Chains A and B, each alone.
Chain A
Amino acid sequence: MPLGTLDRSPPPFFKQGPSALSKLILYSAMALFLMVADSRFHMAQPLRAVLATALYPVQWLALQPVRAARAVGDYFITAQQAQTQSQNAASKLAAQAARAGQVEQLSLENNRLRTLLDLREQLKVEGMAAEVLYDAADPYTRKVIISKGMSSGIALGSPVIDESGVLGQVTLVHPLVSEVTLIIDRDLAIPVLNVRTGVRSLAFGDATGGGGLELRFMGSNTDVLQGDLLTTSGVDGVYPPGLPVARIDRIERRAESAFARIHCIPLALVSGVRHVVVLKPLSSQIPPRPAETVPALPVKKGGKP
């Protein structure tokens, strides 16, 4: 019985259940087993999906104050702010109009040239708009939760973009929501192409968790300059080619290392983004890899057959 509390029933004297220590051992072992199953064997996904669906009402309830605050904030926007925003949008649209006109003509020309040269058709990219529900609170990774899930047909591994560039990749699909790992997460790699030089490389999230990207394994004599634009290269079969990813911010060439440290800033709004587009991964459209032909083993001289 709790100390100093008036309880109506007497505490059990003999039937105390398992001791606290045995419970600790049991539940710790279960937790350790789950962690290993989750991180090493990736088997915990069904349990995660079940728990996520069960927690969805509570999550929805917790999101309401934030949504209300956003709605109120949007309502009380001043006329001046609204005018600035609309002017910005109009100037952006005017700047893009010329390019958009060119794109029509260029894609027509490109298609003709491709048929002329008998190249493969360019891959079509379909998108689906989604809303970012919240930033995952886990301080060790960089993820966001979006409002579309398995029920809307989101596929695992889909690239996610916002209006200014690649935001990340869908890494976990629950029935109603899905989880997007941002490109600044340390464990996410994205193949990029330097637009100025055409050099392909891999961009990883910053290992220190500083919110940037890093081009790893680039020799210290590589041709990179501050301000170079990196776009997706399209060699991975996930991201469509040509989406802007990042801009090079800082290059540290050190004498003792064969590699340069190249720090980039992501173009997408990695913190505070609200609307995103989930693209279909390209892997479904790519023809399968040709079967490897096994070279005939050379027969040893004098060897037994």
Chain B
Amino acid sequence: MIMRGGQQLLLPASPVFIWSSLLAALLLEMLPIGRTPWMPDFLAMVLVFWNVHQPLRIGIGLAFMFGLGVDVHQTALLGQHALSYTTLSFFATMIHRRLLWFPVPSQAVQVLPLFFAAHLVELTIRLINGDVFPGWSFLLAPIFEALLWPVVSVILLVPQRRAPDPDENRPL
């Protein structure tokens, strides 16, 4: 097995945890907080995370399905988020072997163009469809997403960082 220097060997990811994290992200996405173009897309972040860490489990097809769900919830054009998440997931799969060699802050810099591209895809589709420009604050969303990448990485890797043999001194 190829190992990164000075990194902890991770436990296998539990499918239940992967799915519940995706569901929690969908819930966060659906919180009724109004029209805020600068709001980071939590579902996209979690999808990219699992695409990078577990590409055999969470792939492009799932991203597409979640995108359709978000479209219906937001009453957006059907297929808009599906296309943006598909693109996001494709690029995440492309860079997943390289990305994990970097420390987490550098990973955030590397995923910034991905999130930016995803938001640009949505904007382009809506402008072609003849909708109103939502204002420049939408440019903040990919930046927030990249800034939250370390947070997401820490939270979602917690169950894999537990001790493989819990005892009295290491209960978790």
Which of A's residues lie within 8 Å of B, judged by CB?
1-8, 11-12, 20-21, 23-24, 27-28, 30-35, 37-39, 44, 47-48, 51-52, 54-55, 58-59, 61-63, 65-66, 133-143, 145, 172, 179, 186, 207-209, 271
Contacts and interface: CB of A to CB of B under 8 A. Distances in A.
Interface residues of B, number: 64
B56 A11 contact: yes
B75 to A, nearest CB: 4
Interface string B132-146: 111100100000000
A35 B77 contact: yes
Contacts, number: 168
Given A32-B79, A58-B23, A24 B160 contact: no
A61 B97 contact: no
B9 A20 contact: no
Given A20-B60, A27-B61, A31-B67, A4 B7 contact: yes
A135 B73 CA distance: 10
Given A47-B78, A51-B72, A137-B34, 4 more contacts: A24-B87, A39-B129, A136-B75, A138-B76
Interface in B129-163: 129, 131-135, 138, 160
Nearest to A209: B132
Nearest to A186: B132
A52 B125 CA distance: 22
Given A35-B78, A39-B77, A138-B76, A51 B34 contact: no
B77 A20 contact: no
Contact of B30 (A3, A5, A51, A59): A59
A184 to B, nearest CB: 10
Interface of B: 1-4, 7-13, 23, 26-27, 30-37, 39, 53-56, 59-61, 64, 67-69, 72-80, 82-83, 86-87, 90, 93-94, 97, 100-101, 125-126, 129, 131-135, 138, 160, 164
A23 B83 contact: no
Given A24-B60, A48-B78, A55 B4 contact: no
A140 B27 contact: no
A8 to B, nearest CB: 6
23 contacts: A2-B10, A2-B54, A4-B8, A5-B53, A20-B94, A23-B61, A24-B86, A24-B87, A28-B86, A31-B67, A31-B79, A35-B80, A47-B78, A48-B78, A51-B68, A135-B34, A137-B35, A137-B39, A140-B131, A140-B132, A143-B75, A172-B75, A186-B132
